[in-house]
Amino acid sequence: MSKLEDIEAPVPGGNAQMEWVSDVMAEMIRRLDLKYVAMNPGASYRGLHDSLVNYLGNRNPQMLLTLHEEHAVSIAHGYARVTEQPMGCILHSNVGLMHGLMAIFNAWVNRAPIVMFGATGPVDADIRRPWVDWVHTAQDQGALLRNYTKWDDQPASAPAVCEALLRAFQIACTAPKGPTYVCLDAGLQETRLTEPFELPDPSRFSPGPSPAPSQETLEQMARLLTSARRPLLLVGRVSRSKDDWDRRVCLAEALGAKVISELRAGAGFPTEHPLHVYPPRYTPFEGTLDLMRQADVILALDSFDLGGWIKLMQVGGRPKATIIHCSVDSYVHGGWGKDHLALPAVDLRVLAEPEPAVRLLLPLVDKNMTGKPKTWDGVTLQRPAPAMPESGDGTRAITNHDLAHCLAQLREGCKFTFTRVPIGWASDQYHFREPLDYLGTDGGGGLGSAAGMAVGVGLALRGTDRIAVTIIGDGDFTQGATALWTAAHYRIPVLVIVANNRSNFNDEIHQGQVAKERGRPVENKWIGMRLSDPDIDLAALARAQGVEAAGPIKQVSDLRPALEKAISVVESGRPYFLDVVVEPGYASLLMVRASGHGASA
Ligand SMILES: Cc1ncc(C[n+]2csc(CCOP(=O)(O)OP(=O)(O)O)c2C)c(N)n1
Ligand SMILES: [Mg+2]
């Protein structure tokens, strides 16, 4: 079977001379070490396309064809979740960009670095072809995404292109990371260079190390934490590095701090560690809120929604804790979106990423804690026992609980990276033991990204001992199903499991709640929600794209053999799709609004 690198290899004989401005663009992309550019083609960047294929030979970067621009961005987003580095994607003129927008929004909310390239019909109206070049030219393409990207530009010369690309890379990779966009004028791409062109050295434009807190701030943090009797760590948006992971564990152990992590972020702490009392959830629930209420000092490590959590914590009593929040996220907060979430009232705001802060804090804590007892004195916390499986024989229907339980049994001997878990995930059944065990959510809550992100994760994990596994809802999958073709075409190993409740079930819950509040028939909550009659043949959607598939798997005794087969196919380097019909119902508790109204995703 051919390797990704051998697929779509151009015939040799390309012109090795740098002759066109699009050759400069391509060469600069290579120098930024963007290994892949996911794309869907379009004439607005035919100059660049030619340079990537015939000038660079479709290597470093290699183009990855997708069936929809949303997938191009989602693949880059998934790749960034693993590597914390950008890959590229190219979006054709205003129309391709419009297709990619929701995925860009997701990446923005996840603070995922992506360097995105766009193109516009010639800015010089005089050289536009009739109709299409006019329709596909917008006065200000960046306006479509400026509210949810870190930076955008439309350079007008070869030197300006180099500067724009260097800046796009630098800004994307500077915390808080995020997508950046460079729109390449079709007219400029197809302009012939009049003299030899020297490209800048990217090493002089590197993003630089993440800034550390001042010594004074670190000492203040250490003082507060080491004098706490009931310290608590909230682990939010943290790195994928194992060294950072180990340091977080050391910090919690040195302090005797309890730990809460969340499903919105990638794995940040070993969930079976005795200090990590409750399984991670998407939203806080009574157990975690009580823990927060009992804590006297809380260190939040870039919590997504610290303000929201504090609000919930305050229901039924004032918070007692002194709160320290370590985050640089406010540097990208703007006025358009509210993805900054509620403003948290904190006692010490530390404007640093958690990683340098924890690294430098640890020796101070170790020194101060020598000889001190490390207990949550007077508080006994019972770690909840994992829920037991449903009763019944092997013919009974499958639950989210069974799915998580079965994957937990099968993980021995191989390493799964969960690229997503469904809203109803039974997180008490499956422990995260390493930073790459789980990568978090789509960010912006925009459905349709999960399959594409999974392909990007599979791409980033190729050649490692890890298997990319995504477990997604049928609603999410059906919106993004055509992302699978890219995995089939480029032989990207990834396992896509749909936890298929044949419904947009999350919204059934909403409709049920509204009906209940209004004294209306709750029985009608399924209307406009159910994805049945006819049932969608999800496996056929995968097979149609060249991905081996099975399902619908409907009874619990069939689940393990189906998963074993799936894993063996992915281990052999191919993608696989599995449709598992699950009972509607969410294993984890849903969130309660501060106002007291129930709310889910
Ligand atoms: C693009 C987009 N459209 C609609 C929604 C609203 N929405 C949120 S969850 C959900 C249901 C998703 O269904 P599925 O993926 O099957 O998960 P389930 O709730 O059934 O577990 C919908 C429609 C959304 N978040 N994004
Ligand atoms: Mg569903």
Q: Each residue of 504-513: pLDDT tens digit?
A: 999 999 999 9
- What is the atom index within ligand 1 of the atom nearest the CA of 503? 20
Ligand 1 close to Cβ of residue 442 (< 6 A)? no
pLDDT per residue as tens digits for the range 214-250: 999 999 999 999 999 999 999 999 999 999 999 999 9
Q: What pLDDT shows up at residue 317?
A: 66
Q: What separation in Å is there between the alpha carbon of 473 and the centre of ligand 2?
A: 5
* Number of the ligand 1 atom closest to the C-alpha atom of 424: 21
> Which of 162, 164, 160, 163 is CA-nearest to residue 152?
164
Instruction: Say which residue, 106 or 16, is predicted with more confidence.
Output: 106
For residue 351, the model assigns a pLDDT of 97
Which of 442-467 are b and which e, b meaning 16 or more Cβ less than 10 Å from the residue's Cβ? bbbebbbbbbbbbbbbbbbbbeeebb
Task: Tell whether ligand 1 has an atom less than 6 A from the beta carbon of residue 588.
Answer: no
392 CB near ligand 1 (under 6 Å): no
Q: What predicted TM-score, i.e. pTM, was given to this entire model? A: 0.96
Tell which atom from ligand 1 comes closest to the C-alpha of 423. 21
Return the sign of the alpha-carbon dihedral for residues 381, 301, 365, 228. Answer: negative
* SS3 state of residue 553: strand
Q: Which of 504, 586, 591 to mutate to test the pocket of ligand 1 (most atoms within 8 A of CB)?
A: 504
Q: Which residue pairs from 134-142 have beta carbons closer than 8 angstroms and sit at least 24 positions apart in sequence?
A: 136/42, 136/44, 136/92, 136/93, 136/94, 136/95, 137/93, 137/94, 138/93, 138/94, 141/93, 141/94, 141/97, 141/183, 142/181, 142/183
Q: Which of the two residues, 415 and 15, has the higher pLDDT score?
A: 415
Task: Using the predicted structure, report yes or no on whether residue 103 has a pLDDT greater than 60.
Answer: yes
Q: In angstroms, what is the C-alpha Rg of the chain?
A: 25
> Which residue has its alpha carbon closest to ligand 1 atom 18?
505
Closest residue by CA, ligand 1 atom 17: 473
Choosing from 453, 471, 507, 579 the residue with most ligand 1 atoms within 8 A of its CB, the one to mutate for a pocket test is 507
| Residue pLDDT, tens place only, 431-453 | 999 999 999 999 999 999 999 99
Residue nearest to atom 9 of ligand 1 (CA): 506
- pLDDT (tens digit, 9 = 90+) per residue, 361-389? 999 999 888 777 777 877 777 777 888 77
In the prediction, which pLDDT does 423 show? 81
Q: What is the pLDDT of residue 589?
A: 43
Are 263 and 427 contacting, i.e. CB atoms less than 8 angstroms apart? Answer: yes
Is there an atom of ligand 1 within 6 Å of 482 CB? Answer: no
Task: Of 173-187, 317-331, 444-458, give the lowest mean pLDDT range.
Answer: 317-331
CA of 188 relative to ligand 2 center, distance in Å: 46
- Tell me the residues surrounding ligand 2 (ion) with CB < 5 Å: 473-475, 501, 503, 505
Ligand 1: which of 441, 500, 506, 538 to mutate, judged by most atoms within 8 Å of the beta carbon?
A: 506
With a 6 Å cutoff on the Cβ, whether 447 touches ligand 1 is yes
Ligand 2 centroid to residue 502 C-alpha, Å: 5
Q: Is the pLDDT of residue 26 over 90?
A: yes
pLDDT in tens, 153-165: 999 999 999 999 9
CB 356 within 8 A of CB 350: no
Q: pLDDT value at position 601?
A: 43
Q: What's the CA gap between 282 and 265, in Å, rounded?
A: 9
Residue 68 and residue 17 in contact, taking contact as beta carbons nearer than 8 Å: no
- Mean pLDDT for the stretch of residues 540-558: 97
Q: How confident is the model at residue 596 (pLDDT cuts 50, 70, 90)?
A: very low
Q: Which ligand places an atom closest to the C-alpha of 529? A: 1
Residue 105 beta carbon below 6 angstroms from any ligand 1 atom: no
Question: What pLDDT is recorded for position 593?
Answer: 39
